[in-house]
Amino acid sequence: MKGIEKMLSRKKEEIFMVEAPEEMEDCLKSALQKKRRRFPKGAIAAAFVAALILAYSFDSIAYYGKKFMGYDFMRYGNLRELFEEGLGQEINKSCIFSDGLEFTLDAIMFDGNELMAFCRIYDPEEDLIVFDPIYSVSLTGLNPSRYSLKLGHGSNPDKHTQEFVYTFEAPAFYEKWMKLNIKFRKGDVKEERTISFALDRSKAIETSVQKDINTKVRVGECDVLFDKITASAMKTYIQGSINPLTEESKKKLDPKNAEDYEKYGTTILLFDMVSDKGETIGFYEGDTNSSMGKTSFIIKGDALSKDFNTLEIKNIRLKRHRPMDKSVDILEKTENLQVDEDILIKSVYFEGDTTCVIVSSRGVPSLELFDGDELMEIINHGSYEKQAESEEPVDWVFRFEGKGQNMRLDIRYIMYYTYSDEKVSIPID
């Protein structure tokens, strides 16, 4: 009997911490108004407590699971599973602007590295696919400076709704009372609203892996240092830095002016990670900061699986994106047309019902071919994707459906990849 009393006492404490949804309150009132049958008082008390425990354990979980819907665009599929397991923190608070636009903070999820805010914008009048509202968000607490916004991405599930996931720097350990500040502008009208909420530290996602890597890899004219791996059930984080070894590689990594950007573009670090069980961990986003001639990075990816002993970083590469945005008119039998210092159109010819364009470049160009105003479909799209940059120009053959008569070739950008043969092994204790 004492064991049952302890169990009921624990459940009572949990129940007192829960705020019941209004719909659940209505259901209970309706049930209590029905005609009662007579039962012994002891049986009634036991049945009521058992029913209350079961109702809380199942009905409220079903209610909150139903309420947190949408966000189908999320890259991290494990986040939805975490919410279903009760690890995310439901907020469900809204503010309304003067024109009727409603901004809702559905939920948050946070670990030691960052906080993700799941937000929904609803406008009953405007078509949000056509009219994209102008607003900004920031996160504040006791810390006098704002927690930096690292990333935001979203989609339109319907024409009156937008869903966004914003990623912020993780709140400091002493933070509890937080504010999400929303600034909205429509025409000349500017408004600001605030959604206040309390962090529930019991909902924080615990760190599962934290390990120093301290391994340096040479990639072209740069040294890449993999410094540390941190992982939780939310995401995996790889921290490190890139040290350019030449003046040109410095400009490629961190162009200081428009001239350098036009000549070199921008460079990012990419790699693949696999476990000893053959599972691939996908990485999708990152933060960089350049200072004192080198660039530090945090690259973020999927949560790690639970059943593995070793991780391996391989296929380490630097991807340089150089914008072009140039257009040239071409004809069948066009030859040796120099478009740029690294773009030569060697020849244009017809082959059956296709138009072939041979472009010579050290990197892989992105092309669009138009016949008048009609875009011609490229047949071998992606055939040269991720090809390594060559010291000497390489001939790339691009094939397009149809035989163009009034052709214009648009060169959007050139992609340069530099690879390392080295691998990094990370044993997990």
* Mean predicted confidence (pLDDT) in 319-326: 93
Kindly tell me if the per-residue pLDDT of 69 is higher than 60: no
* Mean predicted confidence (pLDDT) in 68-89: 67
Tens digit of each residue's pLDDT (9 = 90 or more) over 29-42: 444 344 444 444 44
- CA-to-CA dists, residue 3 to 16, 42, 46, 193, angstroms: 20, 18, 15, 50
Model pLDDT, residue 424: 96
Output the six-digit token pair for 310. 């070793």
Model pLDDT, residue 71: 63
Q: Domain 79-203 sits in which CATH superfamily?
A: Conserved domain protein. (2.60.40.1640)
Tens digit of each residue's pLDDT (9 = 90 or more) over 101-147: 899 999 999 988 889 999 998 988 888 777 766 778 999 998 777 88
* Distance, CA of 298 to chain centre: 13
84 pLDDT tier (thresholds 50, 70, 90): confident
Kindly tell me if the per-residue pLDDT of 60 is higher than 50: no
Kindly tell me if the per-residue pLDDT of 359 is higher than 80: yes
Range name among 64-68, 123-127, 332-336, 387-391 with the lowest pLDDT average: 64-68
75 pLDDT tier (thresholds 50, 70, 90): low
Model pLDDT, residue 15: 35
Same fold, 79-203 and 207-320+420-427: yes
Which one has a higher pLDDT value, 25 or 423?
423
Model pLDDT, residue 74: 57
Range name among 26-30, 166-170, 201-205, 232-236 with the lowest pLDDT average: 26-30
76 pLDDT tier (thresholds 50, 70, 90): low
Quote the CA–CA distance of 259 and 391 in Å, as a whole number: 23
70 pLDDT tier (thresholds 50, 70, 90): low
Model pLDDT, residue 78: 65
Quote the CA–CA distance of 125 and 179 in Å, as a whole number: 28
Range name among 64-68, 174-178, 272-276 with the lowest pLDDT average: 64-68
Kindly tell me if the per-residue pLDDT of 13 is higher than 60: no
Which one has a higher pLDDT value, 256 or 145?
256
Kindly tell me if the per-residue pLDDT of 216 is higher than 80: yes
Rounded to the nearest integer, the mean pLDDT of the chain is 81
Three-state secondary structure readout of 331-399: CCCCEEEEEECCEEEEEEEEECCEEEEEEEECCEEEEEEEECCEEECECCCCCCCCCECCCCCEEEEEE
State the architecture of 323-413 in CATH terms: Sandwich (2.60)
**Starting at the edge strand that comes first in sequence, how are the strands of the sheet with 354-361 ordered?**
335-340, 343-351, 354-361, 394-401
Per-position DSSP letters for 124-144, written without gaps between them: SSS-TTTS--EEEEEEESSSS
Domain segments of the chain as ranges: 79-203, 207-320+420-427, 323-413
Output the six-digit token pair for 216. 């340096």
State the architecture of 207-320+420-427 in CATH terms: Sandwich (2.60)
**Coil, helix or strand for 174?**
coil
Kindly tell me if the per-residue pLDDT of 225 is higher than 50: yes
Model pLDDT, residue 330: 95
Kindly tell me if the per-residue pLDDT of 222 is higher than 70: yes
Kindly tell me if the per-residue pLDDT of 184 is higher than 70: yes
Quote the CA–CA distance of 372 and 349 in Å, as a whole number: 17
311 pLDDT tier (thresholds 50, 70, 90): very high
